[in-house]
Chains A and B, each alone.
Chain A
Amino acid sequence: MAGSDWDEKKIKEGLNTEVVGTRFEIFQEIDSTNHHAMELASGGVEEGTVVLAEWQTEGRGRLGREWVSPSGVGIYVTVILHPEGGIAQLPKYTLLAGVAVAEAVREVAGLPAEIKWPNDVLIDGKKFCGILEESFVSGSKIKYVIIGIGINVNTDPADLPVTPRGAPTSLKAEKGEHVDRVELLRSVLQKLDTGYTEIRTGNGENIIHKWRGLSATLGHKVRVELSGGTLEGQAVDIDDDGGLLISAEGGMQKVTAGDIIIVNS
């Protein structure tokens, strides 16, 4: 097993956050950082708590999909937030996670990470990152939001499964050299904190602006599979709710669910 880089003191060096990273729980091995974070959150843990692991034995994505998490080479982290706003703000958290990862990867690894709507972070159309966000809703209030992020940093893509959604990559494979995991993690946490502060202080539109600048979707012809059929058209913009506006035959359509396929590039 590779030695662990995850040292709380080292991570906190140069970390200048208001909320994210108030407390760290670091594991050599865990079933899933999201699972543990949900338990901590329901037990009323401090906001900004970060759950970090070298290895996840049951890393998972949306709809129970597996997220393979080899030891010592990736970032498997979950951040717990207790937003005070109502559920109308939830879409901002979707965009926030994608923006934080894409910006951090550009800054630390110098790779052209882009976001496919709404929060799939890709390099050259290839997936190196998985985001699983979960919230607990009571009435019209959010009790907590947890943001789980898995990044293939120095992972050998041969150790990762090829899914129906394509062959995965890692930052090392794309860059051709080792990427500092501590520096990258610190940058992700820093950017999550900045975005969270913006949402909390009523400046959530900054997230939308940043998202537009990192988008791999806008301006492209896209296809969306919806429960009522397939929609094809030009992706024009996202609105304040993060919904994707598609100019299609028959008029402008707003899409808030479904998987987007980029038809041309």
Chain B
Amino acid sequence: MDLEKLKELVEFLETKDFVEVEYENEGVRLRLRRAEAEARINPVPTAQQDMPAPSPFQKTQPEQGEILGEGDYVTVESPIVGTFYRASSPEADPFVGDGDTVEKGQVLCIIEAMKVMNEIESEVKGRVKSVLVENGQPVGYGDPLFIIELS
């Protein structure tokens, strides 16, 4: 199998929901597995997600047509695949911790992807109910990171 073919196959698989694929032809055997497969298969408990949403914010128990208000909870989900950091450097204090109040636009965490340090901002005002991921852990697209109680 030449490189072009292989690239085609990888590109095709990326448009699909496959996690792992085996291919055999004329004595060539190939197994492709997504790097983020584990993160996809084993979401952190409390995940309540049906479809990837355009926004990383989802209400924990969505009900059609309901307007979110004070006392409701939202889950902040990872918008990208990467490594989760709670602080700007190993010596720095975490951006937020359990029970902290957060403003809209405040930085919640950093997710490093391809060496870019991405600061993830809160899209809501509220109180951090729980931090769901350990510092330095890999996260996948849509993985729940924080639960925030709206205020």
- Measuring CB to CB, which residues of chain A are less than 8 angstroms from any residue of chain B? 60, 62-64, 87, 90-91, 93-94, 118-119, 131-140, 143, 145, 227-228, 236-237, 239-243, 245, 250-257
Closest to B10 in A: A239
Query: Which residue in B3, B80, B105 is a CB contact (below 8 Å) of A237?
Result: B3
Residues B118 and A90 in contact, CB atoms below 8 Å apart = yes
Contact assessment for B115 and A87 in the assembled complex, using a CB-CB cutoff below 8 Å: no
CA distance A87 to B113 in the complex (A): 10
Of A62, A119, A138, A236, chain B has the most CB atoms within 10 Å of the CB of A138
Q: Are A252 and B138 in contact (CB under 8 A)?
A: no
A90 to B105 Cα, complex, angstroms? 20
- How many angstroms between the C-alpha atoms of A133 and B14 in the bound complex? 26
Classify the interface of chain B: helix, strand, loop or mixed: mixed
Q: How far is the CA of A228 from the CA of B35 in the complex (A)?
A: 10
Q: Is the CB of A251 within 8 A of B116?
A: no
Q: Which residue of A has the minimal Cβ distance to B52?
A: A140
CB neighbours of A118 from chain B (8 A): 114-115
Residues on B close to A: CB < 8 A?
3, 6-7, 10-11, 14, 22, 30-36, 38, 54-57, 79-83, 85, 88-92, 105, 107, 111-121, 123, 137-138
Closest A residue to B121 by beta carbon equals A138
Partner among B32, B89, B92, B105 whose Cβ is within 8 Å of the Cβ of A251? B32
- Is the Cβ of B57 less than 8 Å from the Cβ of A139? yes
Residues of B within 8 A of A93 (CB): 116
Q: In the bound complex, do residue B138 and residue A227 qualify as a contact, i.e. CB atoms below 8 Å apart?
A: yes
5 CB-based A-B contacts, threshold 8 Å: A64-B91, A87-B118, A94-B115, A250-B33, A252-B6
Knowing A133-B117, A135-B116, A239-B10, the reply to whether A250 touches B56 (Cβ < 8 A) is no
- Closest chain-B Cβ to A113's Cβ sits at a distance in Å of 17
Measured between beta carbons, the chain A residues less than 8 angstroms from B88 are 64
B114 CB contact (under 8 Å) in A64, A90, A253: A90
Q: In the complex, what residue of chain A is closest to B54 when comparing beta carbons?
A: A140
- Return chain B residues, CB-CB under 8 Å to A140: 54-56, 79
Q: What is the bound-complex CA distance between A257 and B118, given in angstroms?
A: 14
Inside 8 A of B117's CB, which chain A residues have their CB?
A: 62, 132-135
The 6 closest A-B pairs by CB, nearest first: A64-B89, A251-B31, A94-B114, A139-B55, A133-B116, A91-B114
Q: Please name all residues of chain A whose beta carbon is closer than 8 Å to the beta carbon of B137 when the two chains form the complex.
A: 227
CB distance from A227 to the nearest CB of B (A): 5
Let me know if A87 and B121 touch, CB within 8 A: no
In the complex the two chains form, is B119's CB within 8 Å of A87's CB?
A: no
